[in-house]
Amino acid sequence: MNFDFTPEQLAIRKHMREFAEREIVPKAQMNDRNCKFDWDIAKKIFKEGFLGCPVPEKYGGLGLDYVAYGLMTEEVNRVCSSTRTLFSVQTSLVALTILKWGTEEQKMALLPKLCNGEFIGCYGLTEPEAGSDAANQQTKAVKDGDDYLLSGQKTWISCGSIATHALVFATVDPSLGHKGITCFIVDTKSKGFTAQEIKGKLGLRASDTSSLFLDEVRVPKENILGNVGDGFKVAMSALDNGRFSVAAGAVGLVQGCIDASTKYAMERITFGKPIGEHQQVQAMIADMVADCEAGRLLYLRAAHLKNQDVRNTLETSIAKLFCGEAANKAGHNAVQIFGGYGFSDEYPVERFFRDAKVLNIYEGTREIQKMIIAQDALGIRYANGKQTGRPTALAYVG
């Protein structure tokens, strides 16, 4: 693996950082305070073409690699986790899932408009009784001629209220368990489809999070993604992409904490000198920097495998687990460094602290990531498929 970034990767990171500082930072605090999804920022993102980073140019994307996509995602989350959520859902969970599982007709019809923002997608997997137990889908898909009628409820769906299209997972036969789950591309304007925004969130207050309700929503069979019964495989492959962008975003949050904390630590004076000269403050900053560097290498390792089209469930889970934990620790330390000022939204670290928590929950909780990693190490279940000569989860480092 080459640790040097290409000129193209450096250029897209620089461009994304400049955009984030210019367009996102000035409004991030107020949008969070007002719990407002900012359509003006979203439209500027669409215009720049950022959403199509790893999608081939043939389908309207930028055709860049996963390293570039990770760096872009990191730069967005360095200043605003809510804005990064739009990136992760639109690109990782929706566009890349259609790219992998869709027919040529589906890809040509949907991907260009997802990349330019004409369409907004959401990922409808989680239900009130199906979170970590994703196979326990209660949403039903009943065949009716050449169509299916979908009925059920989804919850904690990012971008659910603003989406034009939803990837909805439903079971065509509950007796088949996970083998009966099928993924449908649903037009949210369809009769019987409604969304209700979820209020009062701890973090990601400037992103849209909603519950979806389906009451015999008619979906033509041409809108099945993959084949009937492929839904669980579709969902898990999507989460591999989603967890990658969450990991990269988490590193961005750690970097944001470093940027804010180092600046403040050299400005704030106590006992006659900047607090950055006190050992305990230095220790907290050192922890942030070490975690940031380690987390970045972990998600770049996953990006390297994705670029080679090699299955990377294990590596992505390791990155998501470590980076999510690092973000929570960095948010805690940043607030501590700021002291009383860290307890108010006058500075961004209060928002970073709140936004970090969800990184341990969505796209697979930290407990699920630990289960994936441990079961691979124990040989109970191989995350990337059984491979000869790979006895432990960490064998990939050799």
Write down all domains in the chain, each with its CATH number in brackets: 7-121 (1.10.540.10), 122-230 (2.40.110.10), 232-397 (1.20.140.10)
- Relative to beta strand 269-270, strand 193-197 is unpaired
DSSP symbol at 126: -
Task: Find the mean pLDDT for residues 175-183.
Answer: 93
- Is the per-residue pLDDT at 232 higher than 90? yes
In the prediction, which pLDDT does 398 show? 26
Q: Tell me whether strands 181-187 and 165-171 are parallel, antiparallel or unpaired.
A: antiparallel
For 241-272, what is each residue's pLDDT tens digit?
999 999 999 999 999 999 999 999 999 999 99
CA angle 291, 328, 80 (to 5 degrees): 95
pLDDT at 19 (0 to 100): 97
pTM score, two decimals? 0.94
Q: 127 forms bridges with which residues in the sheet?
A: 130
pLDDT attached to residue 397: 29
CB 158 within 8 A of CB 91: no
The pLDDT of residue 215: 98
Residue 131 confidence (pLDDT) above 90: no
Cα–Cα distance, 352 to 347 (Å, whole number): 10
Span of 94-98, 110-114, 176-180, 196-200 with lowest mean pLDDT: 176-180
- pLDDT computed for residue 385 by the predictor: 78
Does residue 388 surpass a pLDDT of 60? no
Run of H or E including 232: helix 231-265
Q: What is d(CA 46, CA 115) in angstroms, rounded to the nearest whole number?
A: 7
At which residue do the structure tokens 């670290």 appear?
A: 349
**H-state helical runs in 20-127:** 25-33, 39-48, 66-77, 81-87, 96-101, 104-115
Q: Are 327 and 356 in contact (CB under 8 A)?
A: yes
- Asked whether the beta carbons of 159 and 120 are under 8 A apart, the reply is yes
Q: What spatial distance separates the first Cα and last Cα of the chain, rounded to whole Å? A: 12
**C-alpha–C-alpha distance, residues 186 and 17, integer Å:** 34
Q: Give the orientation angle of helix 66-77 with respect to helix 7-19, to 10 degrees.
A: 20
% the chain with pLDDT above 90: 91
In the predicted structure, residue 30 carries a pLDDT above the cut 90: yes
Q: Which of 55-59, 213-217, 393-397 has the lowest mean pLDDT?
A: 393-397
What is the mean predicted confidence (pLDDT) over 62-68?
Answer: 96
Given a cut of 90, whether residue 187 has pLDDT beyond it is yes
User: What per-residue string of b and e applies to 45-68 under the rule 16 or more CB within 10 Å gives b?
Assistant: bbeeebbbbbbeeebbbbebbbbb
Question: Does residue 42 contact residue 116 with C-beta atoms inside 8 Å?
Answer: no
Q: How many CA atoms lie within 13 A of 104 on its CB side?
A: 1
Whether 330 shows a pLDDT value over 60: the answer reads yes
Residue 352 has pLDDT above 70, yes or no: yes
- What was the pLDDT predicted at 1? 66
Q: How confident is the model at residue 132 (pLDDT cuts 50, 70, 90)?
A: confident
Structure token pair of residue 27: 């409004």
395 pLDDT exceeds 50?
Answer: no
Is residue 197 part of the annotated active site? The answer reads no
Nearest CA among 264, 284, 281, 396 for reference residue 330: 284
Choose the catalytic residue: 21, 127, 363, 367: 363
Close Cβ partners of 361 (under 8 Å, ≥ 6 residues apart): none
CA angle 271, 277, 282 (to 5 degrees): 125
Which positions ≥6 away from 293 have C-beta within 8 Å?
Answer: none
pLDDT of residue 365 exceeding 60, the answer is yes
- DSSP element (H, E) containing 287: helix 279-307
| Nearest one of 205, 206, 250, 252 to 76, comparing CA atoms | 252
Segment 212-227, tens digit of pLDDT: 999 999 999 999 999 9
- Judged by average pLDDT, the poorest of 125-134, 273-282, 332-341, 363-372 is 125-134
